[in-house]
A and B are shown apart, each in its own frame.
Chain A
Amino acid sequence: MSDPRIIFDDVSVDFETERGPLRVVDGVSLSIHDQEFICIVGPSGCGKTTLMNIVAGFLRPSSGRVTLDGRPIAGPGRDRGVIFQEYGVFPWLSVRDNILFGLRLKGRRVAASEQQRVCQKYLDLMGLADFAQAFPKTLSGGMRQRLAIARAYAAQPDFLLMDEPFGALDAQTRSKMQDLLLEVLKRERKTVIMITHSVDEAMYLASRIVVVTARPARIRSIITTPPAYPRREALHETPEFGALKAHVRDLVMAEYEVQQQLSSTVSNAA
C-alpha cells in the first residue's frame, strides 16, 4: 500500500471555556490513504466537526500533529475542498459565478475558456444548467447543496471534506445526492472525509467507517467495509453487509447513550 496522505498522530484538542479547558478530541491517531472514502460517525456534539476543522486548516491541535503528505497542516488551501453543513453558497453571485469563484482567483491562472468549460461541466453534472443565471435565493435546499458541491469540485481539490452535507435534505433528495456523489467519484478519484450521524449513509458510501466516542472524541473502532458495487443492492441482500451494519449501529448507539448522559449532567450542573 502507498504512503498515507493524511496522518493524525495522537491528536488532542482542548477548548477554553469559562469553567476551564474542555477536552473535545482525545488521542486520535488515524491514517488516511489516497482515494479512500472515510466516514466519521458518532453522536452529535462529540467533536467530529473539530476533526474536520483540523484537516481543513481552521484549527490547530492542542497536542499531537496532523500532516498532509508529510507536512503539518498550516491553514486552509484549495487542495482541500470543504462542503459545510450550512452550504455557504455566496448569495450575491449567480449560480454560474459561484462555481467560477475558485477558478477566477489570482493564484489559479486558469484560462478564461477553461474556466467556462469546467463551470459548464459541473453545471451539467449537478443538474444546475437551467439555473446558471439565477441567484441562490431562488434555489431549493437540495439545489443549494448541489451548488456547494459543484463549487468545491470546480476548484479541483484532491480532498473533499464534507460535514454532514446531506443532513438538511429530505430522504429522497438525500439518496439522490449520495448516488450523484458516488457517480462523480467514479470519474474523478478523490479522497473523501465525510462526517455523518447516519449509519445507513456511512455503510452506503464509505470504504472505511471511523466510529468515534462521546465527548471527548476518541476512536472507538475502525471498520473496513467490503468493496461491493452496486452497493445499494449489497446493503439489502448480502448477510455479511447486514451483520456489519448491525454491528456499526450497536457501536454508535452505545456512544449516543453516553453522550446523552453527558449532556444531561452538563445541563444539570449549569
Chain B
Amino acid sequence: MPTPAQVGSKLTSLLFEDRLATDILRSTQRVTLGVLLGILLAVPVGFLIGWYRSVRTFLDPLINFFRALPPIALIPLVVVYFGIDEPAKVIILFYASFFAGVIVMYEGVAQISPIFIKVARTLGASDHEIFFKVIVPLSMPHILTALRVALGVAWATLVASELVAAQQGLGALIQSAGAFFQIDVIYVGIVCIGTVALSMDLALRVLTRRLIRWQDRVEAQ
C-alpha cells in the first residue's frame, strides 16, 4: 500500500504530465452535463408529481422501480442503444441524477404549506401568479437540494459510466490503473474525484446561501 506521500508525489507528477488535468476536466464536464440535464427534467416532473395526487399515485411506483436499478446494470443496454461514445456516458449520469433529483423535488413540493396559496388567493392572485410568485420561490430551496444530491450521486456513478470504453476521465484512469496494478494511481484518482466533488458541493452551498437568504435554517453547532 502506498503512503500518502507517495500518492502525493504521483499526483503532482501526473498533473504535470498533463494527462491528469485532461482526466479531471473530462469527468467534470460529463458530471456537470449529466446533472444539468437530469435536474432540468427532474424539476418539472417533480412539480407535477408533488402537486397532483393522481400523477403521484401513477408515477411513484414507476420512479421507485427505476431508481432502484443500479446504473452499472444498464450499461449493456446503453451501449446497444447509444453506442460507446460521449452520449452513452452522459446518459448514465443523467439517469442517476434524474432519479436522485426528482425524489427530492416532489417531496419538497408536496410539503409546501397551503396557507401561502390561500393568502395569495385572498390578495387576488391568479393561478399563473400563484405558480410563479408563490410556488416557484418556495421550491428554490428544494431545487438547490436536488442539485446537490444529484451531484453527489453523479460523482458516485462516474466510474461506472466511464466503463463504457472511455479513454479519458478519472473513472477511466482508475480502471486502467487497476488493470496494471498501479495502486498509487488508483489513489490519485480517488483523491481527485473526492476533491472535485467536494469543491462543487461547497460552491453550491455558497450559491444556496446567496439565493435563499430568507430561509430560517438551523446551523449545526
Contact = CB atoms under 8 A, between A and B. Distances in A.
Interface of A: 56-58, 75-78, 80-82, 84, 86, 88, 90-93, 101-102, 105-108, 135-137, 151-152, 155
Interface in B87-139: 115-116, 118-126, 129, 133-134, 137-138
A254 to B, nearest CB: 33
B57 interface: no
Contact of B214 (A81, A82, A107, A137): A137
B134 A88 contact: no
Contacts of A86: 115
Given A92-B214, A93-B214, A105-B129, A78 B118 contact: no
A155 B121 CA distance: 12
B150 to A, nearest CB: 23
B124 A80 contact: no
A102 B115 contact: no
User: Lowest 10 A-B CB distances belong to which pairs?
Assistant: A78-B124, A102-B123, A76-B121, A137-B216, A88-B119, A88-B115, A82-B122, A92-B137, A135-B214, A92-B214
B15 interface: no
Interface size class of B (residues with CB under 8 A): 20 to 34
Contacts of A90: 116, 119, 134, 137
Contacts of B165: none
Contacts of B138: 92
Contact of A88 (B118, B212, B215): B118
Contacts of B125: 105
Contacts of A105: 123-126, 129
A84 B118 CA distance: 10
B129 A106 contact: yes
B213 interface: yes
Contacts of A155: 123-124
Contact of B119 (A57, A80, A82): A82
A102 B214 contact: no
Given A82-B118, A84-B119, A86-B115, A91 B124 contact: no
6 contacts: A77-B122, A90-B134, A90-B137, A105-B124, A135-B213, A137-B214
Contacts of B134: 90
A90 B214 CA distance: 10
A78 B116 contact: no
Find the residue from A75, A92, A107, A151 having the highest chain B CB count within 10 A.
A92
Interface in B50-103: none
A62 B23 CA distance: 68
B122 A56 contact: yes
Interface in B168-221: 212-216
Contacts of A108: 124
Contact of A91 (B120, B129, B214): B214
Contacts of A136: 214
B122 A76 contact: yes
A54 to B, nearest CB: 13
A92 B118 contact: no
A181 B119 CA distance: 20
Nearest to B122: A82
Contacts of A151: 119, 123
A39 B120 CA distance: 25
A6 B215 CA distance: 40
